[in-house]
Structure 1
Amino acid sequence: MIRIYVLLAWTWTRAAAQYPVSFALMTAGGFVVSGLDAAVIWVIFANTTSLAGFGLPEVLFLYGVSGLAFAISDLLFSNVDRVSQHIRAGTFDVFLIRPVSSFVQVAVDRFTPHRIGRTLQGAAVLGVALSRLDVPLARAWMIPVMVACGIVIFTAVFALGGAAQILLTDAPEVANAFTYGGAMLTQYPLSVYGESVVRGVTFILPLAFVNWQPGLYVLGREDPLGLPYWVRFLSPAAALALALAAALAWRAGIRRYRSTGS
């Protein structure tokens, strides 16, 4: 399936490359537009020295990890958000009769390579943050783990949203509240939100394991909620659990799908 995904993605990329100026402008546009979120952080710190007890480099670090993980997931799998469009158009049936995973087909359909601009922006912010932080090598190993687990968690949220659209037919806004809304939520230290929100994204929808809990370990900070120290190392377990839940939800949605008949 990975090979098929890569081949299809490469096909769409070659098609986009036929219009190099448009591709370059859209990539640059994605970099600039997503950079506005980082600019907001700079504006905030132009008027204060800390945000919920975190300095500018620390907030940029949390933003960079979350932004990079979400951007990669958005680049590779966000087209799952278009499930309801396929269902309404009657084209979702085509994905079900092919001998390839329906999830892979939906995810790579109309692959948009210019979203790489957002990925580059997230990586740039993370690089700037790390250059201004003194992260010990003994804790630096967690950073790639954070990004990898973040990609899995955000992809699982996309899959859960897609499964919901299969059942509800027209619920992209509900799904977006958890996908893009979750990405916005994790751009800042979770301690700026209420305790109930932090517990919700820790124990219900584990977005806290994208960058918050492991980030506390990397930065050597105490958990404002006083959770046990070992919770900071649960990102792989949280990502695996959410991925399994998303896989089951997608399968359940496919089993309950009823063709439009068109």
Structure 2
Amino acid sequence: MMAYRASFALNLLASLAIHSLDFVVLVIMFRHTDRLGGWNLPEIAFLYATATFSLGVANMLVGSVDGLGVRIVNGSLDTMLIRPAPALSQLCAERFSLRRLGRPLQAVAVLVWSLTALDVHWTWDRVLLVPVLLVCGSVIFGAIYVGGATVQFWWGESKEIQNSFTYGGATLLHYPPTIFAKELVAGVVFGVPLAFVNWLPALHILGRPDPLGLPTAFQYASPVAAALCVAAAGLAWRAGLRAYRGTGS
């Protein structure tokens, strides 16, 4: 790809422009109001940037796993299973593309702006929590990509389910938890743990109250949630492989 540098640069710029439109919508929204759910634009920009970065990195590294259903249907997964490399690694690398850098790069630009615009007293734990949430958020989304893809072992090509939790989840996390029903917020804390991508750590970083009144420890628990998500995705993947019946079965 890098041999065609002009094409790569144009594709990357196009990706940056397309992904910037979501943030433009937020900016336009704030032309008509100063706050959304009690949060100002720099605070929501922080949510947007952290969720978008995490999704973008996960999509770039493991997003190709959504092609599992196609390989199951046409029988080409068998070819991957007889190779010495793990099938999951092969799937993730199959459609790896640096053009997907557009989403995380745009998120970094928004994040830098939000960090300079935030009215926050930066203590050491708040500073450290920013890179921690970016790494853990990427891991959580990556685990959701893999876990969602394993559904296709039983249901065939059904990546829409996966997309509802990845792209849909990221869109949810662009907005503050205070605008959603407490039942929904609880669902992304104790169900699909999307709240650990940015909502919960952001409450501590931005000095915001928890709408659920959870213990403060939850705001630091993103690494634990990420580890549990990876373990769950690994178990689901192995269960899917055991249930898989290839074309030669």
TM-score, normalization: structure 2? 0.96
Secondary structure of the residue that 2:80 maps to in structure 1? helix
1:210 and 2:210 aligned: no
Provide the rounded CA distance (Å) in 2 between the counterparts of 1:235 and 1:118.
22
Match of 2:37 in 1: 52
Matches within 5 A, 1:26-45: 26-45=11-30
**Deviation of residue 173 (structure 1)?**
1.0
Match of 2:8 in 1: 23
Quick check: 1:79–1:108 contact (8 Å CA) kept in 2? yes
Secondary structure of the residue that 1:242 maps to in structure 2? helix
Provide the rounded CA distance (Å) in 2 between the counterparts of 1:195 and 1:32.
34
Match of 1:83 in 2: 68
Question: What is the identity percentage for the equivalent residue pairs of Structure 1 and Structure 2?
Answer: 43
Match of 2:123 in 1: 137
Aligned length: 247
The worse-fitting range, judged by mean Cα deviation, of 176-185 and 130-139 is: 130-139
Runs of 4+ residues deviating >4 angstroms: none
Match of 1:157 in 2: 144
Alignment gaps of 5+ in structure 2: none
In the alignment, residue 192 of structure 2 is paired with which amino acid?
A: L
TM-score, normalization: structure 1? 0.91
Provide the rounded CA distance (Å) in 1 between the counterparts of 2:78 and 2:175.
40
RMSD: 1.3
> Which of 148, 154, 158 matches 1:167?
154
Quick check: 2:177–2:211 contact (8 Å CA) kept in 1? no
Secondary structure of the residue that 1:64 maps to in structure 2? helix
The worse-fitting range, judged by mean Cα deviation, of 19-28 and 182-191 is: 19-28
> Which of 78, 89, 97 matches 1:93?
78
Match of 1:147 in 2: 134
| CA distance 1:221–1:74, shift in 2 (3 Å) | same
> Which of 43, 49, 55 matches 1:70?
55
Secondary structure of the residue that 1:205 maps to in structure 2? coil
In the alignment, residue 81 of structure 2 is paired with which amino acid?
A: L
Provide the rounded CA distance (Å) in 1 between the counterparts of 2:247 and 2:116.
54
**Deviation of residue 137 (structure 1)?**
3.3
Provide the rounded CA distance (Å) in 2 between the counterparts of 1:133 and 1:81.
37
Quick check: 1:34–1:118 contact (8 Å CA) kept in 2? yes
1:256 and 2:246 aligned: no
Alignment gaps of 5+ in structure 1: 1-15
Match of 2:103 in 1: 118
Secondary structure of the residue that 1:53 maps to in structure 2? coil
Secondary structure of the residue that 1:58 maps to in structure 2? helix
In the alignment, residue 233 of structure 2 is paired with which amino acid?
A: A
> Which of 162, 170, 185 matches 1:183?
170
Provide the rounded CA distance (Å) in 2 between the counterparts of 1:230 and 1:126.
25
